[in-house]
Chains A and B, each alone.
Chain A
Amino acid sequence: LGIGSIAGPAFAAPTGLTPNTLEEITNYNNYYEFGTGKEDPAENAHSLVTSPWSVEINGLVDRPGTYALEDILKGKDIEERIYRLRCVEAWSMVIPWNGFQLSALLDQVGVQSGAKYVAFETAFRPDEMVGVSRPVLDWPYREGLRLDEAMNPLTLMATGLYGKDLPAQNGAPLRLVVPWKYGFKSIKSIVRITLQEDQPFTSWKDANHREYGFYSNVNPTVDHPRWSQATERVIGAGLFGSRRETDMFNGYGDEVASMYSDLDLQKNY
Chain B
Amino acid sequence: MALSLPLLPGVVADPVNRTLRKVPAWPLYILGAVPPVILFWAGVTGRLGVDPVKDMEHQMGEWGLWLLIAGLCVTPLRRYAGISLLKYRRALGLLAFFYILGHLLIWLVLDVQILSQIWADIVKRPYITVGMGAFVLMIPLAVTSNNRSIRRLGKTWRQLHKLVYATALLGSLHFILLVKGFQIEPYIYMGAILALLALRLPLTGKRRSLRTA
**Residues of A bordering B, CB below 8 Å:** 23-24, 27-28, 32, 36, 38-39, 89, 91, 134-137, 207, 223, 226-228, 230-231, 233, 235-236, 238-243
**Residues of B bordering A, CB below 8 Å:** 43-44, 46, 49-54, 110-114, 117, 120-121, 124-127, 177-184
Chain B interface, >50% SS class: helix
Complex Cα distance, B52 from A236, in Å, reads 9
Contact A231 B51 (CB under 8 A): no
Most buried by B among A136, A137, A207, A226: A226
Complex Cα distance, B112 from A228, in Å, reads 10
A39 surroundings in chain B (CB, below 8 A): 49
Closest 10 CB pairs of A and B: A28-B50, A136-B181, A24-B50, A243-B113, A27-B50, A239-B43, A136-B182, A137-B181, A239-B52, A226-B125
A-B pairs with beta carbons under 8 A, tally: 67
Chain A residue nearest to B181 in the complex (CB): A136
Q: List 19 A-B contacts (CB under 8 A).
A: A23-B50, A36-B179, A36-B180, A38-B50, A38-B54, A136-B182, A226-B126, A226-B177, A228-B124, A228-B125, A231-B114, A233-B51, A233-B54, A233-B111, A235-B51, A238-B46, A239-B44, A239-B110, A243-B112
A241 surroundings in chain B (CB, below 8 A): 113
B180 surroundings in chain A (CB, below 8 A): 36, 89
CB distance from B58 to the nearest CB of A (A): 10
Contact B50 A226 (CB under 8 A): no
A89 surroundings in chain B (CB, below 8 A): 180
Contact for B121 among A135, A228, A235, A238, CB less than 8 A: A228
Complex Cα distance, B110 from A36, in Å, reads 23
Complex Cα distance, B178 from A135, in Å, reads 17
Most buried by B among A36, A134, A231: A36
Complex Cα distance, B43 from A136, in Å, reads 30
A235 surroundings in chain B (CB, below 8 A): 50-51
Complex Cα distance, B117 from A236, in Å, reads 22
Contact A207 B49 (CB under 8 A): no
A28 surroundings in chain B (CB, below 8 A): 49-51
**A28-B51, A226-B127, A239-B53 known; A134 and B184 CB under 8 Å?**
yes
B54 surroundings in chain A (CB, below 8 A): 38, 233
